[in-house]
Amino acid sequence: MKAGTMRINIRTCLGAFGSLPYCAKLLLNFLKNRMYIDDIVVTNEYIPNRWNIIVDEAVSSAIYDRKADVAWVDTPGMLPLSYHKVDTDIWSKLYTTSEFNKQLLEELGFKVDGVIYRLIDDRLFYPLKEYVGTKYDIITIGKHCMCDRKNLRMQRDIILSKRIKSVIISDIWIPKRPWIKQYNFGTVPDALKARLLAESRFLLWTSFVEGFGMPVYEAMAIGTVPIYTDVPAHNEFAVGIPIKADGKAKGFCYGTRVIKWYIDRKEVEEAIDYALGMGKEEYEDLSEKCKEKAVEMYNETVDKIKLLLPGGGR
């Protein structure tokens, strides 16, 4: 089917904070600007007579019968409860964002057609870091949720106790301090986020599980080195300073079970101390490796996006 004749609906969880509506927006922009598909809408429902691409959480979407022609879904380690009815055949084509997701979904009975990394704003590849200068030692980005999946409370306590010059994009409550700048999650436009990432030496990322881990990828693209928990799924691609996890278990969150890796505060503090003590040459070498890996990932995604379209984009 030719691009000009396609009618696309990107189905996602509109109105929700988090990365999924943002991922849908990035896909919309890519299909319009790079593949010249004009007739595209983003909604939270299935629309007959359009090609429906769902960008959402995988397990809950299968439980609640969120139909689509093709799925590009992930899951932060979510597992159905015994009474949940999971329709593993709900989508004729299913792509996910990591090998961790692929294995988990296949164990649940889904047929997964492949892995496609998420898109990011390509302005993050501009050489901003060379021009804006460093203002912050650490940036952290994350929506605070009931189970504190990003370990934001731990981050807050460490930043306060160590008086680390930081910029925080989150809705978690943090007392005002002269060395902390805070923006509410969901209120920062892309251009400002890119600048804040460029002005920071390190991204602190302490999530106990992810379906992908977009801020790690975004930071790498701009050359900001991640200090990251060595857990799925971001550890499949992350370049930076890993934080060792201390085992895992199955917990309860988001109304279902989740896989949770345990993160010890001491391990996080040691990784931060190592990062902040890093010399200029070591930092610049690691920053370049981050950018190289991000470019490789982005190019791979660009090559695969056509698989989400009718007939695989042929």
Which of 115, 58, 117 is closest to 88 using CA atoms?
58
Q: Give the model's pLDDT for residue 214.
A: 96
Query: What 3-state class would DSSP assign to 201?
Result: strand
List, for residues 105-124, the tens digit of each pLDDT value: 999 999 999 999 999 999 99
* Residue the block writes with tokens 């060792």: 244
Q: Specify the higher pLDDT residue, 15 or 266.
A: 266
The residues, ordered by sequence, that sit 6+ positions from 69 with a Cβ below 8 Å of its Cβ are: 51, 52, 53, 91, 92, 93, 310
Q: What is the pTM assigned to this prediction?
A: 0.95
Domains and CATH numbers, the chain: 3-116 (no CATH), 122-296 (3.40.50.2000)
Structure tokens at 290: 């981050």
- Does the bond joining 71 to the residue before it have cis omega, within 30 degrees of 0? no
What pairs with residue 277 in β-bridges? none
List, for residues 178-233, the tens digit of each pLDDT value: 999 999 998 999 999 999 999 999 999 999 999 999 999 999 999 999 999 999 99
What pairs with residue 289 in β-bridges? none
DSSP character string of 202-239: EEEE--S--SS-HHHHHHHHHTPEEEEES-TTGGGT--
What is d(CA 223, CA 246) in angstroms, rounded to the nearest whole number? Answer: 28
What is d(CA 59, CA 37) in angstroms, rounded to the nearest whole number? Answer: 29
Count CB neighbours of 1 within 10 A.
13
On whether the CB atoms of residues 46 and 67 are closer than 8 A, the answer is yes
What pairs with residue 136 in β-bridges? 200
What pairs with residue 40 in β-bridges? 8
Average pLDDT over residues 155-173: 97
- Could you report how far apart the first and last alpha carbons of the chain are, in Å? 7
Among the residue ranges 2-16, 172-186, 246-260, 270-284, the one predicted with the least confidence is 2-16
Average pLDDT over residues 287-313: 95
* Exposure on the CB side of residue 275, measured as CA atoms within 13 A: 26
On whether the CB atoms of residues 21 and 14 are closer than 8 A, the answer is yes
Whether residue 1 has pLDDT greater than 80: no
